[in-house]
Amino acid sequence: MPGKMTNPEIEKYIEEHTTPESEVLYDLYRQTNLRTFYPRMLSGRVQGKFLEMVCRMLQPEKVLEIGTFTGYSAIAMAQGMPDDGIVYTIEVNAEMESFISEYVAKSGMEKKIKLLMGDALRIIPELNETFDLIFIDADKEQYVAYYELAIKKLRAGGFLLADNVLWSGKVLEEDSLSDKETKGVKAFNEHIKNDDRVEQVMLSVRDGLMLIRKK
Ligand SMILES: C[S@@+](CC[C@H](N)C(=O)[O-])C[C@H]1O[C@@H](n2cnc3c(N)ncnc32)[C@H](O)[C@@H]1O
């Protein structure tokens, strides 16, 4: 499970100095806590606002998200995109579909969010689109695989964000002690470090965000 890297008081201070989320995102946050087993998977107020701001800065026409969960980050990004922008968001868990659709409708972002249900490893190669921004936030063991499929669909000069790259600090563990997810995150971070096609900066927002630019 992802965890915050900073101490709770700093975390509270960061939240207090960040513009509050929209009413519908707050409601989605509450309902995610009431209705799902792992509510901590949701991006939350600070990261959601960060994603929205990135979209306000880049004004992307097309965004790809890998891992929708209840739709919080998809809605946050859509809120920051131009009127004709579209977020394609992929979710493998069929049980999430009605929850996501309910909140996409409540947010009024139906025209900007295209939900694709299924395994991203199967769906991405079938997408006949070029993206300006890609957000990777699904199964940690598959991060390198998602990345290699996604980078082909990213335009030159486009950006990719990957969530949980600090994995609650477990990235510092020795390999022999690491679980599969930690190994996946570490392999991804090394993969990016050695990839000449991109430049990147690792940010300590929440559980760690890698911001990558395709040259
Ligand atoms: C951390 S949550 C996403 C959180 C969401 N982006 C947010 O910020 O609110 C990860 C999601 O990825 C989904 N997932 C895992 N493996 C996947 C795959 N291969 N293809 C698509 N979705 C996947 C999980 O079912 C889960 O809902």
Q: What is the pLDDT of residues 109-156, one digit of tens each?
A: 999 999 999 999 999 999 999 999 999 999 999 999 999 999 999 999
Task: Tell me if 122 CB under 6 Å of ligand 1.
Answer: no
Each residue of 74-91: pLDDT tens digit?
Answer: 999 999 999 999 999 999
CA of 73 to the centre of ligand 1 (A): 11
- CB of 77 within 6 A of ligand 1: the answer is no
Q: Which residue's CA is the nearest one to ligand 1's atom 10?
A: 138
Say what the pTM is.
Answer: 0.97
pLDDT tens-place string over residues 172-199: 999 888 899 999 999 999 999 999 999 9
Order of all β-strands in the sheet with 198-203: 113-117, 86-91, 62-66, 131-136, 154-163, 209-214, 198-203
CA dihedral 11→13→18→21, nearest 10 degrees, is 60
Q: What are the start-end ranges of the E strands in 42-153?
A: 62-66, 86-91, 113-117, 131-136
Q: Is 207 in the pocket of ligand 1 (CB under 6 A)?
A: no
Mean pLDDT of the chain: 96
